[in-house]
Structure 1
Amino acid sequence: MKKALVVFAAVLSMTSAFAQSAAPASAPAAASAPMREQHVEQRIAYLHSALKITPQQESQWNAFADVMRSNGQAMAQLYEQRKADANRTALDDMKQYAQITQAHADGMKKLVDAFEPLYNSFSPDQKKLADQTFHERQESRRHRSGKAPQSQPSPQPSKAQ
C-alpha cells in the first residue's frame, strides 16, 4: 500500500517536472509557463474524473490538487532559473541539480501527506482505480524512456535425457 502511494505521488510530482521540458528551448519563459500550468490542470482534471471523486471527497481532493499546483509552480521556477543561467559552471550545475532534487523530494512528501487522507477515504473500487491508474502511468513512463519493465526470467527448457 505504501509503495502504491509513493509511486502515485512520484508520478504526479514528476508530471509537473516533465512538463517543464515540454516547451522548446527557444520559447520564451512567459509563454512556456502557461503551458506547464495547463498541463498540471489537465492532469488534475483527468485524475478527478478517473478516480471518480465524490462530493464528500472534494475538500480532500482540493487540498491534494493545490499541492500538485504548488509543486508544479516550484519546479517550474527552478527549471526557469536553470534555463536562464547559461554561464553556469559544472559546480553550479551540480548545485542547481541538487536544489531541484531536494525540491522534488520536499514536494513528494507534501504530495503524499495530502494524498493519504484522500486515498483512505476512497471506496475499495476507487482504491483499485487509483492503483491501476498510477501503475499504468508508471509503466507508460518506463516504456517511453526505453526501459523495459522488470520481468521474470524465462524458465530454462529442460534437456531431453
Structure 2
Amino acid sequence: MKPALLALAPLGASTCWAQASAPTASWHQHHAEPVDDRVKQLHAELKITPAEADKWAKVADVMRNNAKTIDDLIQQRHDNAQQQTAVENLQSWNEIAQANAEGSKAMLDAFSALYADMPDPQKKLADAPFRPAEAHTK
C-alpha cells in the first residue's frame, strides 16, 4: 500500500538542484495518470460511500490540481534551466516549495472535511494509507 501523501509530493526524488535537461512531453503527460490512479485507489481503499461523494470529489480535485500545479512549475523550471541565473534557479525552487505547501494545506482542508464525517471504522481505513511507508511493514 502506497502512502497517500505520494499524491502530495509530485516533486520526486530524482529532481536535483543542478538538473537542467528538459523532461520529455511524455513525462509531463504520464505524470497525471498516476494521480488519477491514486485517486481511484484511495477511493476504493477508503470505501467512499455515495453519501461522501461530494466531499471525496473535493479531495480528488485537490489531488489533481496539486499535481498539475507542481507539474507545470517543474516543466517551467526545466524549460528555463539553461537560461536561469543562480537567483532565478533558487526562485524556481521556492515557487515549487510554496506551491507544495499551499497544496498540502488545500489537501488538509478538503480531507479534514471528509474525515470528520466518516464513521470510526472507516477512519481507521483512512489512517493506514497516510502513515509513513515504514509503518506499513511493522
Does the alignment reach a TM-score above 0.5? yes
Q: Secondary structure at the match of 1:18?
A: coil
Measured against aligned partners, the alpha-carbon deviations of 1:34-79 in whole angstroms (never above 9, x if no partner) come to 2111010011011001111011101100011001111111000000
Tell me which stretches of 4 or more aligned residues in structure 1 moved more than 6 Å: none
- On the 8 A contact 1:11/1:134 being kept in 2, the answer is no
**Root-mean-square deviation (Å):** 2.4
1:18 positional shift: 2.7
Using the alignment, how far apart are the partners of 1:20 and 1:51 within structure 2? 30
Query: Which of 49, 65, 77 pairs up with 2:44?
Result: 49
Structure with the bigger RCO (C-alpha within 8 Å, sep 6+) is 2
1:105 aligns with 2:101: yes
Give the deviation of 1:17 after TM superposition: 3.3
**Which structure has the larger Rg?**
1
Q: Does residue 13 of structure 1 match 2:1? A: no
TM, length-normalised to structure 2: 0.81
The residue type equivalent to 2:104 in the other structure is M
The equivalent of 2:66 in structure 1 is: 71
Q: State which of 77, 83, 91 in structure 2 corresponds to 1:82.
A: 77
CA distance in 1, matches of 2:29, 2:77: 18
Alpha-carbon contact 2:62-2:107 (below 8 Å) kept: yes
Q: List alignment gaps of at least 5 residues for structure 1.
A: 1-6, 141-161
State the aligned residue count.
127
TM-score, reference length from structure 1: 0.71
1:121 to 104, 117, 120: 117
